[in-house]
Homo-oligomer: A and B are copies of this chain.
Amino acid sequence: MFIQEHDIRVFLNIKEESRVKKKGLTKSFLLIVTTFVIFAVHAALNSDPLPSWNNGPIKQNIIQFVETVSDQKSHDYVSPEDRIATIDQDGTLWVEQPLYTQFIFALDRIKKLAPQHPEWKGQEPFKSVLNNQYEGLTTQDFQSIFAITQSGMSVENYYDTAINWLENKKNPRYKRYYTELVYQPMLEIINYLHQNDFKVYIVTGGAQDFVRTYSKKIYNIPTERVIGTAGRTKYSYENDRPKLIKLPEILFINNKEGKAEGIYLFIGKKPIIAFGNSDGDREMLEWTQSGEGKRLMLLVHHDDAKREYAYDTQSKIGTFSAFLMEEAKKNNWNVISMKNDWKVIFPFNK
């Protein structure tokens, strides 16, 4: 939102006038306020809510959708109560290549904890990690790495550990903190949805309490609107003070069909707009579309090797399969080209 020079001049002129006539001060003050509000609204209405998006059908679809469901006169109007937006994180809100950030965190934890576990030198998957051989690691390996490195501590300790890592570790390609590698166009989407009274949720296959450590700061999304893969905790005491201890047990996996189940569990309503970028988001988009009324489904396609990465069917991380592309076409889902639809990728490119 910005005010034009002309508007400021008008605003100041009125103010000067009001100072001359003493009796008219209160009334003039009200006039100033009204004038200011009118110009501010005017400026807001004419400003571009998505300046980092190139003009084109996708930007138009998003703006038209948000305007329509927020317009009380439209028969597609949706009350703020039901304006639910769900957005995947890895690859949709921030960089996921060459490895999910939380995996890098977990690998660093192994190295940090290794001196206390001499047996890891001869024990897989720790042995591979300690020798920097990550290629052969399976999803199950990562699960056991998570279980061991991110449990047995209180939720407060976990929070401190994660924050400390995030504030010190930088990404080697961009030489930036991982929390800086968020997509500027998506930050504008979150802001635009918030301005239109949407309830914006992150729905991630990643660890719920990892994402919650930074969601407010970098996305302006509070902890209670982060739904992710979650472990069990155990209520216990330390010096008579209650503590929640993280257990090495998964409560639920918030990926693929788990995303629809997680949305039902946490929100109890269907989203009306959903953003994803990989096969793990297919069911979330399908679930979103299955509701009545107007819906919008979008997929970020990584086709920009120069500014970010280009990958889809062949990538193990963030696979965007040929089947997903077919589904997108069949179901009229919007496939966002990072190369063509996004003017800038990161906030530091602005």
Contact = CB atoms under 8 A, between A and B. Distances in A.
Interface of A: 26-27, 30-31, 34, 81, 155, 199, 208-209, 212, 216, 222-224, 226, 230, 232-235, 241-242, 244, 251-252, 257-258, 260-261, 264-269, 283, 286-287, 290
A224 B267 contact: yes
A233 B264 contact: yes
* Tally of this chain's copies: 2
B222 A235 contact: no
10 contacts: A155-B264, A212-B268, A223-B267, A224-B268, A224-B269, A233-B261, A234-B257, A235-B261, A235-B283, A251-B265
A185 to B, nearest CB: 25
Question: Could you tell me the dominant secondary structure of chain A's interface residues?
Answer: helix
A257 B235 contact: yes
B242 A283 contact: yes
A209 to B, nearest CB: 7
B27 A242 contact: no
Nearest to A290: B242
A216 B267 CA distance: 13
Contact of A268 (B30, B226, B258, B264): B226
Contact of A265 (B199, B233, B267): B233
A265 B230 contact: yes
Closest 10 CB pairs of A and B: A223-B268, A235-B257, A30-B30, A224-B267, A27-B27, A212-B268, A235-B260, A233-B261, A242-B290, A244-B264
B81 A222 contact: yes
A142 to B, nearest CB: 22
A224 B265 CA distance: 9
A235 B270 CA distance: 14
Nearest to A236: B257
A286 B242 contact: yes
A126 to B, nearest CB: 29
A327 B224 CA distance: 30
Contacts of A268: 208-209, 212, 223-224, 226
A5 B26 CA distance: 26
A267 B226 CA distance: 9
Given A155-B264, A233-B265, 12 more contacts: A27-B30, A208-B268, A223-B267, A223-B269, A224-B267, A224-B268, A232-B261, A235-B261, A242-B287, A244-B260, A251-B251, A266-B266
